[in-house]
Amino acid sequence: MRYEIKGNSFPVVICYLENGEQMITERGSMAWMSENMEMETQGGGLGRMFSKAFSGESMFQNIYTARGGEGMIAFSSSFPGKILPLEIQPGKEFVLQKKAFLAGEAGIGLNVYFNRKVSSGFFGGEGFIMQKLSGKGTAFVEVDGDLMEYNLQPGQKLIVDTGNLLGFETSVHMEVRTVKGVKNKLFGGEGFFNTELTGPGRVWLQTMPMSALVNTIAGMLPGSSS
């Protein structure tokens, strides 16, 4: 599979497949494709579908296969930002926000990833349920806004607003923690929870989470409380 990423605010990744090669996606992100691309929708088994429904993800997966020669398929972003390519292989796995996965080669495995601290996760919101990418192949990740990358050293910590966390290597330890101080919680404007990341490993952050933008716009609509 060859690919190129084009566009600025609303990028698209165009993938060129050899005969028989496949791409997968869990949502309607296909923008255009050559006529010899064949689509098949799969559910992945009852247990897997249940776990996906619980996590808020789509229960189905679209598989696109090039038939009768080279095929072309493009996947577009749904929000202003970037598309990040990740090379997945055994021992090199990644954890992502559950809505970040855009598309990938068919050798990519997608599984629900739960925060180890279940209680803090339930109250922490977005950080509780994430998605783990494993297997072998290239995956494409959608970034809300601009992308920042940090390479944490062993024991080095980074405190992140949960919505700004795009993903991290599985060597990184994640915990959802409450903001200290009652006044900070009630009047600080930063919410009740932050995500604490501890190295070693790479961390990817996004500068404009969709949830934050939606809340900002909602606050400006007529009838909303100031």
Stronger pLDDT, 4 or 111, i.e. the higher one: 4
pTM: 0.81
Stronger pLDDT, 105 or 8, i.e. the higher one: 105
Q: In the Cβ-directed half-sphere of 190, how many Cα atoms lie within 13 Å? A: 18
Say if residue 127's pLDDT is above 60: no
Residue 148 resides in a domain: yes
Stronger pLDDT, 48 or 119, i.e. the higher one: 48
Provide the pLDDT for residue 212. 59
Say if residue 50's pLDDT is above 60: no
Tokens of 36: 């010899």
Residue among 160, 150, 156 at smallest CA distance from 193: 160
Residue 155 resides in a domain: yes
Residue 167 resides in a domain: yes
Domain that holds residue 184: 2-220
Say if residue 184's pLDDT is above 70: no
Say if residue 63's pLDDT is above 60: yes
Provide the pLDDT for residue 215. 56
Stronger pLDDT, 160 or 117, i.e. the higher one: 160
Provide the pLDDT for residue 114. 72
Say if residue 100's pLDDT is above 50: yes
Average pLDDT, the chain: 82
Stretch 5-10: mean pLDDT? 93
Provide the pLDDT for residue 51. 52
Range among 19-33, 49-63, 181-195, 201-215 with highest mean pLDDT value: 19-33
Residue 134 resides in a domain: yes
Say if residue 83's pLDDT is above 80: yes
Stretch 124-136: mean pLDDT? 75
Pick from 125-134, 185-194, 203-212: least confident: 185-194
Residue 226 resides in a domain: no
Q: How many domains does the chain have?
A: 1
Residue 225 resides in a domain: no
CATH number of residue 161's parent domain: 3.60.160.10
